[in-house]
């Protein structure tokens, strides 16, 4: 007899499953479909730039030393600068390192570095050099020579070259030509599969020592007749051209273009990497080609200039010659835990923190200054969440102390207003803050700054939904994971006051003038009218999270009643399509952050299966839209809430690709040739594609930056990494060597903003 589960029984089982999944501390659940990721040692890029007044024409590495060519003179890279080699020959056009020897190709001969001196080996002008059958072969523009017993000997056949044209073949195997067969004009030579290949300006030639063969490709054509460079790599011969890469395998020539992942098709030069990879110099930056990935390094953060003229690879270091200088990319052994330690050190040594707040830095009159922003609470909330997760994952007392310090700053934002439940955007010292008070308020309105009665501070009003969401997310997390005793009481009171004030103000927050602020509006009069219609979904999600969490932490019935009123108005169903995808003017990336803060708060405390059903539909829709970004914050949030597979491998990769240097350099992606959504993902918001944090400041931002004049706090990485550790998405490193899991103090003096020397924050307990 078959057994069937009745509808009521199924509903009961779903309720039990839902409760087990969501009604757990800080959303941590044991039911999941994802596989934890190991924090293995990986190679982290570290950037350095050496600027020059003249183009760097060529570059090479020999015995760990980097040589560069500037104005046809050989220079040595040392101590962050270039110095001309005293014995440098004149008129040098290229530097080539092959088989442990460094060669200089000049107008009046070819030179070899012997010790500290350059010795001439031949008087001819050579254009390229390679190793073929274990011996150095060099090419002039017309002929190839073998280096034999200290001399270059021509390998041209005595009777001249043969053609691959079979109509020239005589019965005895000889050939007759009315004009001699030429090997040149030669641009590059390379040894591939036991045979020499010659790159002409417009074609690839195969040369077996006798026959100049232009008819050896059975399938495929070159991407362009404008050929630049050539590289033999195992079973492949790569050819760089103005319109992509040609890849020769046997007698087949395939093409690699932007649609295949090549960021820039206008390629100039090729160089073998240090780990089975290939480096490609282009007209707009450098590209590292791996078996299954592409790494793009553009001007700004990585390189002094766009035009790449040459690349040299050493032991885990790559030197890139550009028209404006040399870009140096070093690779160091890291784990994500070590990177987190590096960023925590960065926050301290660069002076991002003061009075418990975390700030962005910017250049003002040549000095790094802490920005007093529109959303200091929002910035600090990210760090507070990071330290909450870290403490919960490690029991590190320093993490707890950092969390408590940030929490005190958050509650100060409420207490300074002297209006119970109303929070300030930021706080400015009248004597010590070097940033000026911002004059811009919300929506183009003037800023609202209010002085304190003691004359020590100004605080900024016109508080928006951004700050309120950040407070509810981070302070409730602090309550769940860190707070004890008086801290727990204060955290509960903080959220209770804000939620009560929202109810008191009729689902808004009133400024000191008694009127709603520009953006802190969750009332139906705003959300259901054209003026606020675009905010209907995300604001509904926010205010539901406020009421749900306030009730969960206080048990106060008025918050339960408030939640019922919101549900009665249909706010829960508003959340389903909270993620706007059109028109473009409605797309605000910060709204995505607010939404996921609210998801993390709301679903941590919701156990009602009917509401869960709606909220999960909202989350599933939102995550599908944002999934293409590979943003760990979105992926980890989704996985923590649902227990579903959440693309952890892509998230770990994203975290590894964060740049160590937190300065915002200019970047440009809009002219790239690989602007296609990744296979398996849909760009619902109309973005060209998603970018690595190595390439952009935001996943879908094409161009931007501030020329290195802003330093961003690395708190998003810290939040995401420690969130992953807390939930078990990422395991602790198995390695225990200190150099792979932590960093020591840099020993440098002040790198960023000077220490704060003004009045201190009041004590609240």
Give 15-24 pLDDT, tens digit per residue: 334 433 444 5
Please tell me whether residues 231 and 370 are part of one structural domain: no
Q: What is the CATH number of the domain that holds 653?
A: 1.50.10
Expressed in angstroms, the distance from the first to the final Cα of the chain is 67
Whether residue 246 sits in one domain with residue 340: no
Q: Does 362 fall in a domain?
A: yes
92-98 and 109-114 as β-strands: parallel, antiparallel, unpaired? Answer: unpaired
Question: What's the rounded Cα separation, in Å, for the pair 471 and 476?
Answer: 8
Which three-class secondary structure state does DSSP give residue 296? strand
Answer yes or no: is 155 within a domain: yes
Per-residue pLDDT tens for 94-122?
999 998 999 999 999 999 999 889 999 99
Residue closest to 538 by CA, chosen among 569, 579, 508, 589: 579
Same domain assignment for residues 225 and 345:
no
Asked if residue 389 is part of any domain, the answer here is yes
What pLDDT, in 10s, does the model give residues 502-535? 999 999 999 999 999 999 999 999 998 888 889 9
The candidate with the shortest Cα–Cα distance to 743, out of 276, 401, 334, is 334
Number of structural domains found in the chain = 2
End-of-domain residue from the set 228, 251, 274: 251
Residue range of the domain that includes 246: 134-251
**Does 449 lie in the same domain as 594?**
yes
CB 546 within 8 A of CB 502: yes
Does residue 408 or residue 8 have the better pLDDT? 408
Range 63-82 average pLDDT: 96
Indicate whether 240 belongs to any domain. Answer: yes
Tell me: pLDDT of 26 over 90. no
Q: What is the pLDDT of residues 684-698, one digit of tens each?
A: 999 999 999 999 999
- Quote the CA–CA distance of 426 and 437 in Å, as a whole number: 10
Last residue of a domain, one of 235, 251, 267: 251
Helix (H, G, I), strand (E, B) or coil at 471: helix
Q: How far apart are CA 502 and CA 546, in angstroms?
A: 9
Both 430 and 567 in a single domain? Answer: yes
CB 266 within 8 A of CB 227: no
- 3 falls within a domain: no
Boundary of a domain, candidates 198, 227, 251: 251
Calculate mean pLDDT across residues 572-579. Answer: 96
pLDDT of residue 29: 67
SS3 of residue 75 by DSSP: strand
**Is residue 355, in this structure, part of any structural domain at all?**
yes
Minimum mean pLDDT among 251-255, 643-647, 717-721, 736-740: which range?
Answer: 736-740
pLDDT given at position 592: 96
* 71 in any annotated domain: no
Q: How long a stretch of residues is the chain?
A: 765
Average pLDDT over residues 742-752: 88
* For range 258-275, the mean pLDDT: 97
List, for residues 356-374, the tens digit of each pLDDT value.
999 999 999 999 999 999 9
Range with the largest mean pLDDT of 428-442, 465-479, 740-754: 465-479
- Assigned domain for 348 exists: yes
Amino acid 589: pLDDT: 84
Q: Tell me, what's the pLDDT at 14?
A: 39
Q: Write down the pLDDT at residue 25.
A: 58
Under a CB-based contact definition with an 8 Å cutoff, are residues 71 and 93 in contact?
no
**Residue 401: Cβ within 10 Å count:** 12
Q: Average per-residue pLDDT in the chain?
A: 94
DSSP character at residue 89: P
Tens of pLDDT, residues 407-431: 999 999 999 999 999 999 999 999 9
Residue partners of 251: CB distance under 8 A and separation at least 6: 216, 217, 218, 219
Closest CA to 423 of 539, 487, 486, 505: 505
């Amino acid at each position: 007899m078959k057994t069937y589960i009745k509808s009521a029984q199924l509903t009961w089982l779903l309720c039990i499953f839902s409760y087990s999944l969501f009604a757990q501390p800080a959303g941590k659940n044991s039911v999941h479909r994802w596989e934890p990721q190991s924090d293995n040692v990986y190679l982290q890029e570290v950037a350095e730039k050496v600027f020059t007044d003249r183009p760097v024409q060529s570059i090479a590495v020999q015995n760990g030393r980097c040589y560069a060519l500037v104005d046809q003179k050989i220079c040595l890279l040392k101590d962050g600068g270039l110095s001309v080699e005293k014995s440098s020959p004149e008129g040098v056009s290229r530097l080539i390192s092959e088989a442990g020897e460094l060669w200089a190709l000049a107008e009046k001969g070819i030179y070899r570095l012997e010790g500290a001196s350059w010795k001439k080996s031949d008087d001819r002008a050579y254009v390229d050099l390679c190793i073929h059958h274990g011996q150095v072969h060099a090419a002039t523009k017309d002929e190839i020579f073998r280096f034999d017993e200290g001399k270059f000997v021509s390998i041209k056949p005595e009777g001249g070259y043969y053609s691959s044209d079979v109509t020239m073949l005589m019965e005895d195997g000889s050939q007759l030509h009315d004009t001699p067969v030429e090997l040149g004009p030669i641009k590059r030579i390379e040894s591939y599969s036991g045979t020499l290949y010659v790159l002409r300006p417009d074609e690839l030639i195969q040369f077996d020592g006798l026959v100049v063969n232009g008819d050896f490709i059975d399938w495929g054509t070159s991407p362009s007749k404008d050929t630049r460079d050539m590289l033999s790599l195992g079973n492949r011969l790569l050819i760089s051209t103005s319109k992509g890469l040609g890849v020769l395998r046997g007698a087949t020539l395939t093409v690699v273009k932007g649609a295949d992942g090549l960021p820039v098709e206008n390629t100039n030069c090729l160089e073998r990497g240090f780990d089975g990879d290939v480096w490609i110099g282009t007209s707009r930056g450098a590209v590292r080609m791996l078996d299954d990935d592409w790494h793009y390094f553009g001007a700004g953060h990585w390189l002094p200039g766009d035009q790449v003229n040459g690349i040299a690879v050493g032991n885990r270091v790559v030197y890139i010659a550009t028209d404006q200088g040399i870009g140096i990319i070093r690779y160091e052994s890291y784990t994500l835990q070590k990177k987190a330690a590096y960023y925590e050190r960065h926050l301290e040594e660069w002076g991002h923190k003061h009075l418990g707040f975390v700030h962005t830095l910017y250049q003002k009159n040549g000095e790094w200054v802490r920005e007093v922003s529109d959303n200091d609470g929002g910035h600090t909330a990210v760090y507070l969440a990071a330290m909450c997760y870290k403490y919960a994952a490690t029991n590190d007392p320093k993490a707890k102390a950092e969390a408590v310090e940030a929490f005190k700053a958050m509650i100060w934002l409420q207490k300074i207003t002297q209006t119970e439940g109303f929070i300030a955007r930021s706080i400015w010292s009248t004597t010590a803050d070097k940033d000026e008070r911002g004059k811009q308020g919300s929506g183009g309105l003037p800023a609202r700054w209010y002085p304190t009665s003691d004359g020590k501070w100004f605080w900024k009003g016109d508080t928006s939904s951004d700050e309120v969401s950040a407070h509810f997310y981070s302070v409730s997390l602090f309550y769940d994971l860190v707070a004890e005793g008086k801290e727990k009481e204060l955290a509960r009171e903080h959220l209770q006051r804000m939620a009560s004030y929202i109810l008191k103000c009729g689902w808004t927050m009133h400024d000191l003038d008694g009127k709603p602020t520009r953006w802190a509006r969750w009332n139906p009069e705003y959300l259901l009218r054209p003026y606020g219609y675009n905010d209907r979904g995300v604001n509904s999600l926010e205010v539901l999270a406020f009421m749900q969490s306030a009730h969960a932490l206080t048990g106060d019935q008025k918050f339960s009643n408030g939640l019922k009123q919101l549900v009665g108005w249909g706010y829960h169903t508003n959340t389903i399509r909270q993620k706007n995808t059109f028109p473009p003017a409605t797309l605000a990336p910060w709204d995505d952050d607010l939404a996921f803060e609210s998801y993390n708060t709301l679903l941590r405390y919701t156990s009602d299966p009917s509401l869960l059903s709606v909220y999960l539909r909202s989350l599933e829709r939102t995550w599908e839209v944002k999934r293409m970004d590979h943003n760990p914050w979105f992926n980890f949030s989704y996985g923590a809430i649902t227990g579903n597979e959440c693309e952890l491998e892509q998230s770990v990769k994203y975290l590894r690709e964060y740049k160590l240097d937190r300065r915002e350099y200019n970047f440009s992606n809009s002219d790239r040739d690989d602007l296609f959504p990744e296979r398996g993902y849909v760009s619902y918001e109309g973005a060209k594609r998603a970018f690595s944090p190595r390439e952009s400041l935001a996943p879908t931002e094409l161009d931007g930056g501030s020329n290195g004049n802003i330093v961003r706090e690395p708190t998003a990485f810290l939040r995401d990494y420690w969130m992953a550790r807390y939930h078990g998405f990422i395991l602790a490193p198995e390695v225990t060597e200190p150099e792979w899991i932590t960093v020591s103090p840099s020993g440098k003096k002040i790198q960023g903003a000077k220490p704060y020397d003004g009045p201190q924050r009041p004590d609240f307990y």
